[in-house]
Amino acid sequence: MPQLGETVTEGTITKWHKQVGDSVAEDEVLFEVSTDKVDSEVPSPVAGTVTEILVPEGETVQVGAKLAVIGDSGGAAGAGGPAASDSVPQPDVSEPAPPEQARAVAPEEMEAVAKAETGPLGVGGQTGGTPETSPGARSGAAPGAGGSQRPVGRPTDQRPPSAPGNSGPGQSGPGKLLSPVVRRLIAENNLDPARISGSGAGGRITRDDVLAAISAQGSNGNGAAPAAGALASPAAAAAPAYSQAASVTPSTPAPQPGERDRVVPFTNIRRRTAEHMVRSKQTSAHTMVAVEVDYSAVEKVRNAEKSSFKAREGFSLTYLPFISRAVVDALAEFPYLNSSVGEDQLIVHSEVNLGIAVDLDFEGLLVPVVHRAEEKRLVALARDISGLASRARGKRLTMDDISGGTFTLTNAGGFGTFITVPVINQPQVAILSTDGVKKRPTVVTLPDGSDSIAIHPLGNLVMSWDHRAVDGAYAAAFMAKVRDILETRDWAAEL
């Protein structure tokens, strides 16, 4: 199992493209894997014949686990190659990433959604002048190549061992090395790892062990002692502020299907999205603010330039680049909304890495990221957004494409929505939803100062924001700035 991200510790094999006895070329897609970060098509590191498949479809395994064996072109395993029972070294994921790494990686724990990972509804293929993103969501990851026969998915990147004397939720005495996923679940549910029996290799605590402990805690009403030490991400660092609420487990039993009900099992991305949504609600003090925007200035330029723009660039000019440009410029004046909440502090990010939520054909969400968006003008933003959508459709997104977001845009306007209230993409502090644009009557001021009724394209922008980070006046002023930019800027000069 390849390491498809620094904090990824396990993956679920969703599809084998080759079976035992099939020939495979180097870099030809061998299998698909789903993680809490992204769904990926993984190419074969070598050419040869598949002689064994060790992990069936639907099974979840740890990073570093052997998945299959590829022999030479005749189907025989190469001499001296590892046997199917050989163990593969697994990376040490017990040490939390340093703050610089945590800030870059943690936002996409929501986007698997996406990382989300994650509440926002991104809609592809919009019509009627609404912002547009396109469905598609899987990425390719290329393990190393070489050799006549090797276990598929040998990790290419191992985490450094924990420093001596380092303590925290990832450690609690001998044999208590915890993965980031397990560490986060323990911290969020106020559990003591010393009181959890591990069923993994060498007594290692697995995610199932923690979920069982959470279930037992909810059934007997007794909370475990809090875990000590620093957490791995700015969002997790705020755990003391909400640990009591997070540890509350509903006492109502789970619904059971009736005879005429149809059961649809959660996919991996649906399950991850559910986890991230609940976690976001437990983490942030969600509040919302909405403004109505008159898109006349934008529509005038789009109508005049859309044919020449598409001929020149190869894709349509939608509302989304205009909104993205306005948001990025407004964040320069209101930087606290481009931040993460740390432990008794606000971490204001120096770059605007703009996430764009993309719907995966109603199967889940991903949030590709336009990095350093503050350095890009309208056309450059439009190109980046279109390129991310194209790579998503072609399953060519990389981990870099979905990592490091600091502010997210999401769109449900293709369905003509009026107001959509999205869930914050952790550990960001704000997410902005673009709703449907529709021609409606509105009052306008004429040059002589009198009022009149006119028909203009109007639509709402809605922002969910974390009240821990800023107050209502700050959020409202930011939205007013975004509206002012969209309504008054000379967009023709941008093109």
Q: Assess whether 192 carries a catalytic annotation.
A: no
Among 29, 64, 35, 33, CA closest to 50: 29
Strand, coil or helix: 196: coil
What span, in angstroms and rounded, lies between the C-alpha atoms of 190 and 94? 18
Which residue in 286, 467, 484, 490 is the catalytic one?
A: 467
The encoded tokens of residue 214 equal: 């959470």
Which residue in 209, 400, 471, 490 is the catalytic one?
A: 471
The encoded tokens of residue 248 equal: 């509350």
Where helices occur in 159-246 by DSSP H, the ranges are 180-188, 207-220, 234-237, 239-246
No. of H helices and E strands in the chain? Answer: 11, 18
How distant, in Å, are the alpha carbons of 48, 69, 142 from that of 72?
5, 10, 20
In the sheet with 60-62, reading across from the earlier edge strand, the strands are: 60-62, 10-16, 29-34, 39-43, 138-140
Q: Any residues with CB less than 8 A from the CB of 323 and at least 6 apart, and which?
A: 131, 409, 432, 434, 461, 482, 486
Q: Assess whether 467 carries a catalytic annotation.
A: yes
DSSP string, 312-379: HHSS---SHHHHHHHHHHHHHH-GGGSEEE-SSSEEE-SS--EEE-EE-TTS-EE--EETTGGG--HH
How distant, in Å, are the alpha carbons of 296, 324, 373, 380, 489 from that of 377?
20, 10, 8, 6, 13
Q: Catalogue the active-site residues.
A: 467, 471
